[in-house]
A = this chain, B = another copy of it.
Amino acid sequence: MPIVTVQVTREGSAPGRNSVTAEEKAAIIKGVSEVLLDVLKKPLESTYVVIEEVDLDNWGWGGLPTVQYRRQRVEAAKS
């Protein structure tokens, strides 16, 4: 009876998108549920998957909000 919680930033996976699409969410749900079926033999109907989309401002990495941290890494890579 697994519970899988997937936390991702609320942003698009391609230019022109600004959130995870319903199709992508369905693919994540299917994918992780099948991992638990394959590895632990957990029937699909006993697995709950909860996707939490987190605003970019609310996700920190490297001591900074994500957008700033990514910019810093790009700058560092250039120099």
Q: Chain A interface (Cβ within 8 Å of chain B)?
A: 1-9, 13, 20, 22, 24-42, 44-45, 47-54, 57-66, 68-69
Q: How many copies of this chain?
A: 6
Q: A36-B28, A51-B58, A58-B53 are in contact. Are A2 and B7 (CB under 8 A)?
A: yes
Give chain B nearest CB distance to A59 CB in angstroms: 6
Structural contact, A31 and B40, CB atoms closer than 8 A: no
Q: A29-B64, A60-B29 are in contact. Are A50 and B45 (CB under 8 A)?
A: no
Give chain B nearest CB distance to A64 CB in angstroms: 6
- Would you list 8 pairs from A and B whose C-beta atoms are within 8 A, ordered by A residue? A3-B7, A4-B4, A8-B40, A28-B40, A29-B60, A29-B65, A31-B34, A45-B61
Structural contact, B39 and A48, CB atoms closer than 8 A: no
